[in-house]
Amino acid sequence: MTNKDFNEINGLGDENADVNVYIQNRPTFGFEHNQRAVYPLKKGEIYALGQACGNGWRKVFNVYAKLLYALPNKCFEFNDAYASWQQYRDQELLQSRSKTALWFSPPEFQQTNKLHIVMGRTYAKSLSLPNTLEWINPEFAIDLHRRLIVCPYFDYRQLSNSKIIFLVDLIAENFTKK
């Protein structure tokens, strides 16, 4: 089995995702070779990634799953079949047809019906994001037209449970299904 160089992969998950999260760094991990720039994870690979790449990556996946699990179904239907966010994380997050992706490249806004979330103010400021981004407070910004949100990094200290609820409310108020 050949491993694809992780630097060739632009992201993890579903290349046609409804929820697209952007992160500045990428884990160092050997993935099974495939021809796509987006690697859909398989069951067990989130755990393997966390084991190989450390607690920081476990936190990213955990916060991502907690966020999606908390969203009301009027936004995106991610949580119906799972009893917990942990079960959702392990059974569906960032897998093929999961409607979720974690990107290691800047956002592209061709499809306006997709949600884009940039992790971290510092990363957001390093990107060439539109000047229509409106800062709600020092940690959260939104661009309704591009369906873009900037939020704290997916870490328990930076994006705490109360901030996850703030982000859930922000998404629910502004980005419901059409």
pLDDT in tens, 37-59: 788 999 999 998 888 888 899 99
First to last CA, the chain: 43
pLDDT of residue 38: 86
User: Looking at the predicted structure, is the pLDDT value of residue 109 above 90?
Assistant: no
Highest mean pLDDT among 29-33, 69-73, 110-114, 140-144: 140-144
Q: Report the percentage of the chain scoring pLDDT > 90.
A: 62
Instruction: Output the average pLDDT for the chain.
Output: 87
User: Is the model's pTM score more than 0.85?
Assistant: yes
Token pair of 1, please?
């089995």
pLDDT in tens, 115-152: 999 999 999 999 988 888 999 999 999 999 999 999 99
pLDDT of residue 31: 53
pLDDT of residue 3: 45
pLDDT of residue 40: 92
pLDDT of residue 2: 35
In which band, very low, low, confident or very high, does the pLDDT at 8 lie, cut at 50, 70 and 90?
low
User: Looking at the predicted structure, is the pLDDT value of residue 26 above 50?
Assistant: yes
